Amino acid sequence: MAPMNESVETVVVASPATIHPSMSWSAIFAGWLVATAIAGLLYVAGLALGFAAFNPHDMAGAAKGIGVGTAIWLIVTWAAGLFVGGLFASWFDGKADETMGAMHGIAVWGLSITATALWLSLGLGQALHHRAAMDRGGNMTMGAAAASDNDALLILQANVRGLIGHSQNDARPNMHGGADDAVVASILGNRTDTARALLMADGVSSEAIDQSLPRLANEANAANTKIKADADRAAHYTSVALWVTFLTGLLALLAAAIGGWMGAGNVHRVYHLRRYEGRPYRNP
């Protein structure tokens, strides 16, 4: 009788979790909490360093140093916080999968960006709302707000008010509450005919107008120069702030992905009492 040949085949069925790894949103949220806590600690340390380095005898140098230091510390804080957050998110997930670890780190970064944007939007909205209420309550005009740090514009407004007030009779109440602002706006816009007509409507004589307009025009030129310089400075600082924000977000994204990748690659060192495929086992 011929011997029978028997063959045994082993079929390995992969689980759906192995083929399609899933993300752990609880690990992502926990990693975000860790990143927020680390960032908060670093912010406090940055404030301590800033106050320690502040020099009241050199305000210009102190302001420049604080600005540069704030930008650098902001980048360091976000990068370090999200690196640690991505690291812990992959550890909380507990899987030795570097790709999914990096994905968890990126998700922590996205949650941090979204929460920060929402917080800033709410804060700015509240600030603008309270500012509008204060402006209505204090009856602050736009011209007064713009002239608060422009000496030439303040002088121009004072001279226009003095010219209108001097021409009016003390017995007649001033019924032109916003006339001086309209005259100032006309002079700033180089519309001398409009300014002349407004001044004459307020009772200023033609002789006084002819004598005052050249001087007011020179003051308006100085005010416009200051306004343009302030606008250029504001545009420069806004551009720098936006570039710092972009660089901070980009480096934080890379740090979060690297942190998640490194965390998954070293998860066996955290859970050393468990066995991971392809990882060394450490006896307790």
The string of pLDDT tens digits covering residues 31-46 is 999 999 999 999 999 9
Of the ranges 141-150, 239-248, 250-259, which one carries the lowest mean pLDDT score? Answer: 141-150
Domain of residue 91: give its range: 24-139+241-270
151 assigned to some structural domain:
yes
**pLDDT higher than 90, residue 67:** no
Question: pLDDT grade, residue 167 (50/70/90)?
Answer: low
- If asked whether residues 98 and 212 sit together in one domain, one would say no
Task: Give SS3 for 63.
Answer: helix
- If asked whether residues 132 and 251 sit together in one domain, one would say yes
pLDDT > 70: percent of the chain: 77
- If asked whether residues 48 and 135 sit together in one domain, one would say yes
**pLDDT higher than 90, residue 151:** no
Where residue 278 falls (left for φ over 0; alpha for ψ -120 to 50; beta otherwise) is left
76 assigned to some structural domain:
yes
Question: What's the number of domains the chain is made of?
Answer: 2
- If asked whether residues 82 and 153 sit together in one domain, one would say no
Of the ranges 96-100, 181-185, 249-253, 272-276, which one carries the lowest mean pLDDT score? Answer: 272-276
Task: Judge whether 209 and 196 are in contact, CB under 8 Å.
Answer: yes
Mean pLDDT of the chain: 79
Q: Which pLDDT score is estimated for 175?
A: 43
Question: pLDDT grade, residue 9 (50/70/90)?
Answer: low
One DSSP character per residue, 192-249 reads: HHHHHHHHHHTT--HHHHHHHHHHHHHHHHHHHHHHHHHHHHHHHHHHHHHHHHHHHH
- pTM for this predicted structure: 0.71
- If asked whether residues 132 and 83 sit together in one domain, one would say yes
**pLDDT higher than 50, residue 219:** yes
195 assigned to some structural domain:
yes
- If asked whether residues 129 and 169 sit together in one domain, one would say no
Summarize the confidence of residues 216-245 as an average pLDDT: 87
- If asked whether residues 51 and 70 sit together in one domain, one would say yes
74 assigned to some structural domain:
yes
Q: Which pLDDT score is estimated for 262?
A: 94
Residue-wise pLDDT tens digits, 177-192:
566 778 778 878 878 7
Q: Which is higher by pLDDT, 20 or 169?
A: 20
- If asked whether residues 131 and 257 sit together in one domain, one would say yes
Q: Which pLDDT score is estimated for 55?
A: 78
- If asked whether residues 29 and 129 sit together in one domain, one would say yes
Q: Which pLDDT score is estimated for 172?
A: 43
- If asked whether residues 189 and 263 sit together in one domain, one would say no
- If asked whether residues 129 and 38 sit together in one domain, one would say yes
82 assigned to some structural domain:
yes
Q: Mark out the alpha helices in the chain (DSSP H runs).
A: 16-19, 25-53, 59-93, 98-138, 142-146, 151-167, 179-188, 192-201, 206-265, 267-270
- If asked whether residues 28 and 132 sit together in one domain, one would say yes
